[in-house]
A and B are shown apart, each in its own frame.
Chain A
Amino acid sequence: MKIKTLEEILKKKSSKTEFAILTNLENGDSEIYLPGTSPKGEFSKYADEIENFFKSKKNGVIENSEIFVETYIKPIKVIIVGAVHIAQYLVDFAKNLNFEISIIDPRGYFASEQRFPEIKVINKWPKEAFEEIETNSSTALIALTHDPKIDDPALQYALKNKFYYIGALGSKKTHENRCQRLAEAGFNNDEINSIHGPIGIKLGGKSAPEIALSIIAQLVSQTYKK
């Protein structure tokens, strides 16, 4: 691989672009491929096979050839509501797992850049904040404020937009009250039950990093169930 190709790969990764690396295993030539374009030079006759690898999001050697295809897909977007202590640990875990994190918190003293370097922190109420974030059914929401004023509008938005994972921090009692408010707002039982509350798998820990670990474990397991 050429140093120039490596630099290009890192640039594509940091700009969250989807791409594939094509390598000729015989001569070592490698090339970056963007989905929907025509592969260049020696790779051009494998256009259909490369596109198929991309569609199935798989890596591998094209049958009866010496061409290796490695696909890179966009990181999963995770929106955290509440720039709280647990969120700081979630950011650490998410970095190693390559989730793309955005944090929403209307409270300026929480949502400071100093507390969350290199993370997109939106210092607005959820309703306005969601106007700035592109979301779809591959987006996850983690609500951590346990303040209905802040969490509820975000949970409602996530339910309406069919996020694949929705979790909300709070005790059983807090969650019961939350479910009741959502029912009053017109959400049905299936929708309400799809919220993971109290959030996280049962680990037994109570500290901020332990709770963050239990949340991230649940998020990863739900990612593979989809």
Chain B
Amino acid sequence: MKNSFDEKILDEAQDWINANQKVVLATVIQTWGSSPRQVGSRMIVNEKGDFSGSVSGGCVESAVVSECLSLIKDNKPCKKIEFKVSNESAWEVGLACGGEIAVYIEQIH
């Protein structure tokens, strides 16, 4: 049986929006190899760079936060980002576990 674990990130997104914050939702949409979080894992980021939830085990969160901030600044609706260990930014943000993930970020507007 699959459990219905739910980390209540969307509930928190609603609270942030009610507090007049700009919110970007980040979702793991694909994984390859060994990745710390499963597809559907979520994180939210506001315009100040505060974040809640996770899309990895701490490996790429900082990069996701800056991507989310750019999305707000450039006022774009959404973007797909892939993180690979072979990525040239691997030393900075790559997945230490050797997996790959695709994260989709979107503004809630």
Number of A-B contacts (CB under 8 A): 75
Contacts of A30 in B (CB 8 A): 106
| Size bin of chain A's contact surface | 20 to 34
Q: Of the 9-residue stretches B6-14, B47-55, B84-92, which lies at the interface with chain A?
A: B6-14
Q: Are A70's CB and B10's CB within 8 A?
A: no
A119 CB contacts on chain B under 8 angstroms: none
Q: A10-B11, A98-B6 are in contact. Are A28 and B1 (CB under 8 A)?
A: no
Instruction: Verify A223–B108 contact, CB threshold 8 A.
Output: no
Partner of B2, one of A7, A25, A57, A61: A57
CB distance from B68 to the nearest CB of A (A): 13
Chain B stretch 34-76: residues in CB contact (< 8 A) with chain A: 38-40
Q: Which residues of chain A have C-beta atoms less than 8 A from B78's C-beta?
A: 25, 27-28
Per-residue 0/1 for A64-80: is the Cβ within 8 Å of any B Cβ (1 yes, 0 no)? 00001010111110000
Asked if B104 and A25 sit within 8 Å, CB to CB, the answer is yes
Residues of B within 8 A of A25 (CB): 29, 78, 80, 104
Contact of B4 among A3, A23, A61, A76 (CB under 8 A): A76
Bound state CA distance, A11 and B39, in angstroms? Answer: 23
In the assembled complex, the Cα of A223 lies from the Cα of B1 at a distance in Å of 6
Residue of A nearest to B29 (CB): A68
CB-CB nearest 3 A-B residue pairs: A28-B78, A59-B40, A226-B1
Which residues of B are in contact with A by a Cβ distance under 8 Å? 1-6, 10-11, 13-14, 17, 25, 27, 29-30, 38-40, 77-78, 80, 104, 106-109
